[in-house]
Amino acid sequence: MDEVNQHKEGAEQPSAKTDEVMVKIEHLRKCFGSKEVLKDINLTLHKGENLIVLGRSGQGKSVTIQCIVGLLTPDKGSVKVFGQEVAELSNDELKELRTRVGFLFQSGALYDSMTVKENLEFALTRVLKIKDQQELDQRVKEVLEGIGLPEAIDKMPSDLSGGMRKRVGLARTLIVKPEIMLYDEPTTGLDPITSREISELILKMQKKYKTSSIIITHDMECARITGDRVLIMNDGEYIAQGTFEELQHSEDEFVKSFFLDTL
């Protein structure tokens, strides 16, 4: 495979849903001062697939995501999203790109002074400029049913549990129907049962909205449930890729260390 350094038996054909490429990163390098965080990152996200990125803390996983949406500029290499070189986009083109890419960050923060409905409508009016109240109502109802929380519509975020807030955060991102989803630690801070619910929801939403996603996580259960393909990052590079099951049975000690509690 050309996009990653092959690693023993760990790399097989990707189980992508289609061949269409949504994100292509080649030889990405990013430094902060003298610190080389990303050395040589190569990644391809195909349409309709969930790609997991595993790595220890501070490896530059979030920096990679910020390069994808143009919040950081690479020092070297190419980052193409929808076939466009992100570093060459104008501000208006970047804004347009960001309407097609949804993020769910660790905090997944909602606006505390707004109800769930207002939080969801805000995303629609701001990103898609939808003004028609009937359409707003319809979309809010549909997405809340999708995440299994129709009764939360008039609640304030402070009246919801952490897991419910996370689900509404996911709904707020998905309501604008992004073509690409970027998840940064979607289950961090949640108990195992709620984490599992969120992972299953991510999988359900992938099927419903046909999104292509990059999911950064330390949660191996989340990786197992949601991932079509897994990349393992170490020292600024991807050192292995494969399906969860392939990597789970790797002979390599470093790869094995991620999967110790999963067998």
Ligand X SMILES: Nc1ncnc2c1ncn2[C@@H]1O[C@H](COP(=O)(O)OP(=O)(O)OP(=O)(O)O)[C@@H](O)[C@H]1O
Per CB under 6 A, residues contacting ligand X are 32, 37, 55, 57-63
Q: Shortest approach of ligand X to residue 242 CB, angstroms?
A: 20
Q: How far apart are CA 263 and CA 252, in angstroms?
A: 15
- Largest Cα–Cα separation, the chain: 57
Please, are residues 195 and 219 in contact by the beta-carbon 8 Å criterion?
yes
Q: How far apart are CA 140 and CA 123, in angstroms?
A: 10
Among 111, 174, 121, smallest CA distance to 146 is for 174
The set of residues, in sequence order, having a beta carbon less than 8 Å from that of 224 and lying 6+ positions away, is: 244, 262
By C-beta, is 62 or 226 nearer to ligand X? 62
Residue 9 tokens read as: 């038996």
By C-beta, is 50 or 59 nearer to ligand X? 59
- Type of residue found at 228: D
Residue 131 tokens read as: 């003004």
Q: Shortest approach of ligand X to residue 235 CB, angstroms?
A: 11
By C-beta, is 42 or 62 nearer to ligand X? 62
Q: Shortest approach of ligand X to residue 110 CB, angstroms?
A: 21
By C-beta, is 119 or 187 nearer to ligand X? 187
Q: Shortest approach of ligand X to residue 185 CB, angstroms?
A: 7
By C-beta, is 57 or 90 nearer to ligand X? 57
- Return the DSSP state at 236: T
Q: Shortest approach of ligand X to residue 195 CB, angstroms?
A: 16
CA Rg value for the chain: 18
